[in-house]
Amino acid sequence: MWRVGLMLVISAIGWVPVAQNQAHDHPYLFLVDILVGLAAYVAVFFRRRWPLPIALLLSLASAVSGTAAGPAVLAVTSLATRRRWRELAVVGSVSFAAAQVFTTMNPTNDGEPAWVGVLVNAIFTAAILAWGMYIGSRRELIWTLRHRAERAEAEQELRVAQARSNERARIAREMHDVLAHRISQVSMHAGALTFRVDLTAEEMRASAGVIQQQAHEALTDLRGVLGVLRDESTGELAIAPQPTYADLGQLVAEAGRSGVRVELEDLVSDRSVPDALGRTVYRIVQEGITNVGKHAPGALLTVRISGDPDDGLDVLLRNPLGFGPTQTPGAGLGLVGLTERAELRGGRLSATREGSTFVLHGWIPWTA
């Protein structure tokens, strides 16, 4: 509708100044102008199917019809968006010649020098072509930016899915590596008890004690399965002891020595935090410290931990958003992995922005 309105305005600018002279001096030209203009308004809607023929046809029609000026301008502009120089040269020449013919046949000021009309028509034709080329380049730029954004979004979704898949695969591999030995020993001793009928009571108690010890160690390893992962470069199991809740103080102290300002508020009522739970909380705080170092160097990170065996553990990390240059870019995959860990333990983890503050909030049940 706005294109039709714009065509009507351009047609009025081109035809109204000469309409009275046409009606008085050349009535047949007045009628031809209106009929050709009406036909041009119908033909312009086929400009997308036949852009070059329609642009040429309407340009020629504008030589004898001022009302056809609006459709001719729209058709030429639409053709110029294709930015093909041969087409622009042909259509531009025809449009300029048609404008000259119309102004010659319908003069509005007899005292005006001829070169003024030529200059005005040339500038007007060049402006139409330039505007069409600008629209075409802008459409191409927008399409390119949209395509890049969609591709980046798709790649990010793939990276997130891959991170989750890798996290589950690593946990599954570790469950096999850590628990297979323990469970096989339990199975072996239990199987031996079913076949040995000659054992004394003392030997039975000893074998049962071995089974109990192996089962206890298997449960201990199972609680730590989320914390002991294979090294990506060597594929070997980590030999260093895995962190627990008691190591949070040391983590904060190390962060302070490395230049990261951290304030820890520990409101946990029960200090006997299970190792697996403490390890998950440790990793959340560690990721928060890492993010501050990467994206908000110099900012103060406040860590608040509260909870008890009945309500679980609540972890809240807050820091101002970073400004200026940061050390390294991030893809957000660390938070994806931590979210997956928290959900596998029956908890949740969310990363949001509250104004100018980045908030990392997690809740983990006391027992998985």
Between CA 305 and CA 302 the distance in angstroms is: 10
How confident is the prediction for the chain on average, in pLDDT? Answer: 78
Q: What is the DSSP letter of 303?
A: E
| DSSP class per residue in 190-217 | HHHHHH--S--HHHHHHHHHHHHHHHHH
Q: Which domains does the chain have, with CATH numbers?
A: 2-112 (no CATH), 245-364 (3.30.565.10)
56 φ/ψ angles, rounded to the nearest 5 degrees:
-65, -45
Residue 57, pLDDT > 70, answer yes
Residue 315, pLDDT > 90, answer yes
Residue burial 304-322, b: 16+ Cβ < 10 Å; e: rest: ebebeeeebbbbbbbbeeb
Residue burial 51-75, b: 16+ Cβ < 10 Å; e: rest: bbebbbbbbbbbbbbbbbbbbbbbb
pLDDT tens digits, 276-313: 888 889 889 988 888 887 778 778 999 999 988 888 89
348 φ/ψ angles, rounded to the nearest 5 degrees:
-150, 160
Residue 348, pLDDT > 60, answer yes
pTM: 0.43
Q: Contact 83/117 with Cβ under 8 angstroms?
A: no
Beta pairing class for 312-320 and 357-364 = antiparallel
Closest to 242 (Cα-Cα) out of 225, 264, 263: 225
pLDDT tens digits, 131-153: 888 888 888 889 889 999 889 88
109 φ/ψ angles, rounded to the nearest 5 degrees:
-145, 105
Nearest 5°: the CA angle 310, 267, 247 is: 100
Between CA 68 and CA 78 the distance in angstroms is: 16
Report the pLDDT value the prediction gives residue 160, as an integer from 0 to 100: 83
pLDDT cut 90: percent of the chain above it: 8
Report the pLDDT value the prediction gives residue 46, as an integer from 0 to 100: 84
Residue 73, pLDDT > 70, answer yes
Q: Contact 37/65 with Cβ under 8 angstroms?
A: yes
pLDDT tens digits, 220-248: 766 666 554 444 444 444 444 577 888 88
Report the pLDDT value the prediction gives residue 304, as an integer from 0 to 100: 94
Name the one residue in this structure whose structure tokens are 């895995």.
Answer: 242
**Tokens encoding 173:** 């591999």
Terminal-residue alpha carbon distance, the chain: 63
**Tokens encoding 123:** 């500038």
Sign, CA torsion 337/343/346/351: positive
